[in-house]
């Protein structure tokens, strides 16, 4: 357990609230932008170009759509877990602030013991899924153009 002054914990609490709100807002924007762009791009290319040329490479388009869907779902889960981690940290700070004195102990490890590793897992899954989706779509596009 670490010890912090009451002033330091109050400042940290304010920063966590601001960071949590900003992170949530930015993630929402990114999800909407990336999912809409990937969907619009792939549907436009499929309808106008690839539907007649896709041939035996349709599985790559399906892979891209599956990966993008997985990425979107992972980000949504990650957003929820991120809010939960921030909430647990705020709760731990509030418990410490409820105690008398100027030097206060806080235990953040127990507050995020389970949630933080799961959050990191979904952050990695969302990134990997998005990259694989983009690679699958690009590979399918180039194979379709060359054949």
Q: What tens digit of pLDDT does each residue of 38-91 get?
A: 877 787 777 766 666 666 777 888 898 889 888 888 888 887 887 787 788 788
- In the chain, what is the greatest distance between 2 CA atoms, to the nearest angstrom? 74
Q: Per the confidence metrics, is the pTM higher than 0.75? A: no
Where do the structural domains in the chain lie, given as residue ranges? 2-146
- Would you state the structure tokens that stand for residue 135, as one six-digit string? 């690679």
What percentage of residues in the chain have a pLDDT greater than 70?
A: 81
């Amino acid at each position: 357990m670490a010890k912090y002054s009451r002033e330091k914990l109050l400042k940290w609490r304010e920063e966590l609230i601001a960071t949590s709100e900003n992170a949530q807002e930015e993630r929402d924007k990114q999800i909407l932008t990336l999912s809409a762009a990937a969907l619009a791009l792939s549907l436009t290319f499929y309808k106008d170009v690839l539907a007649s040329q896709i041939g035996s490479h349709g599985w790559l388009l399906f892979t891209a759509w599956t990966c993008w869907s997985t990425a979107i779902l992972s980000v949504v889960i990650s957003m929820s877990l991120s809010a939960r981690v921030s909430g647990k940290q705020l709760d731990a700070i509030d418990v410490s602030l409820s105690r008398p004195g100027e030097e206060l102990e806080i235990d953040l490890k127990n507050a995020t013991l389970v949630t933080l590793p799961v959050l990191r897992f979904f952050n990695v899954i969302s990134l990997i899924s998005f990259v694989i989706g983009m690679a699958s779509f690009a590979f399918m596009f180039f194979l379709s153009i060359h054949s």
